[in-house]
Amino acid sequence: MKRIIPLLLALLFAAACVPTPDVEPIVSHAEVDTETQLNNTPQSAPTERITFPPYWTDEIRTEIWTVPIRADVITSGQQTYPVRTVARCPFTAEEAARLGNRFFAKVSGMREGFRHSASEYGIALQNAVDLGRSALAENLQKEMTAGGLADDFTPVASLSLASVPADYSVKTDRGVGSLSVRDDTLLLQDAVDGTLLFREYLEEEGPYEGAKPRTIHPGISQSDAIETAQRFLEDAEIAGFSAVEAREALYFDDFYSQTISEGYLVELVRVYEYVPLSAERTQTPGGPMQFERQDVSAPWYSESIRLYVSDQGVQMMRWNNPLEVTELRTENVGLMPFREAVTAIKRTFTYGLPQPEGAGRFGYAMEITKLYLSCALVPKKDDPDHAYLLPAWYIRVDVHDVDLRTNIPMLEVVDTAYYGFSALDGSYIGPSPQH
């Protein structure tokens, strides 16, 4: 980051009164039929090796903004880039039960729903009193007297689900966990009401009060957590996923008001020929850009598995948006030339830059630091059940606070955002995915 700051300073102090360039409206897949685009795109084996520059160095300048571009260009090195047709693959009760039995150790009972028994409320009440959380204790007391307490667990040796959707509390040698399954989500966890908390949301005096971020101390290394996650998937006969991120986390039981463990949330995504990227990072709307105002296409969420791993093993599993490939639509699709692609990205990025309502500047600065060749799920026109999985460029945008007294960006990156563009024609891929 130190090498970027001088560039930022020089650009910010350069002549600011640069005329705003003429910017063409965003071309999006809401306006372009992908099927027609694929039919008009060259499809053949590459006659020579595809090469990309290791860096993309440029800038975007308007009357209001100076956005430096000093981006690493990251690709998988793959030489052929296919386009696939995919469909959603809903979870079945049988698959949920199979994975539940692999996840939970020594299942001894289960009951429908997440209601708690009188004895469980008693433990939660005592914990709330011991922690001085009087408001929580009062709410728990009201819940108990309102009725609707859970029945005892039905003794079982293994889980068996009747249908989807379903919610079950599961009794194991570790305590009471939960299984929740929908068509597009499967959630397994060692706590009925388990919550992952990250350092930026934890405070020194506890998870709900205090002033300073609390450091998390996992009882396992990051590399061991990733290895444990991958081994868990292998044992569960789930193939084709790769870890893209491991983040320190504290696993907290909201109902009992107690920490279960400290470890890592490991995110794994389905691997294709492209650079795998975090689904949470690339497909959660955010950042300062204003593309959401435009009529752009909404891609599908990509498939991902998140595992929370501590020194006690895998204690939470969430599998989102399972997909199946139904067709190899194109074995090798011609990519837009790199120079044309980055020109299209710059044009669209300029179009989406925030504009102040009145005179003045913003209290933050942006820079583009990464350019990845990954993939996106673009819905087929007039066919809501299928989408094309096609190559896409993603830019990473780092956001810095600016000292308003000096107009100088601060060193620390306070936020990051990712924006996607089709690698076939440079059209913008919307920021608000659909399930």
- Residue extents of the structural domains in the chain: 5-87+329-429, 93-325
Q: Which residue has the higher pLDDT, 129 or 314?
A: 314
The DSSP annotation for 167-220 comes to: EEEEEETTEEEEEEE-SSEEEEESSTTEEEE-GGG-BTTBSSS-SSBPPP--SS
Whether residue 32 is predicted with pLDDT greater than 80 in this model: the reply is no
pLDDT, residue 69, reads 97
Q: What is the pTM of this model?
A: 0.84
Mean pLDDT of 281-299: 67
Predicted confidence band of residue 205 (pLDDT cuts 50, 70, 90)? low
Number of DSSP helices (H) and strands (E) in the chain, helices first: 8, 18
Q: Is 398 exposed, middle or buried (0-12, 13-18, 19+ CB in 10 A)?
A: buried
Average of pLDDT values for 257-265? 93
Percent of the chain exceeding pLDDT 90 equals: 48
Residue 24 is predicted with a pLDDT of 52
List pLDDT tens digits, range 386-415.
999 999 999 999 998 887 777 778 888 888
Helix H or strand E segment including 130: helix 118-130
- Predicted pLDDT at 409: 81
Give the mean pLDDT of the chain.
83
- Residues 116-171 have pLDDT tens digits of 888 888 888 888 888 888 888 888 888 888 877 888 899 999 999 999 999 999 99
How confident is residue 51, by pLDDT bands cut at 50, 70 and 90?
confident
Q: Could you say which DSSP state residue 28 is in? A: B
423, 336 contact by CB (below 8 A) = yes
Contacts 24+ apart (CB under 8 A), 201-204: 202/250
Q: 287: which DSSP letter?
A: S
Q: Band of the pLDDT at 380, cuts 50, 70, 90?
A: confident
Cα separation, 89 vs 385, in Å, equals 10
Cα distance between residue 56 and residue 339, in whole Å: 10
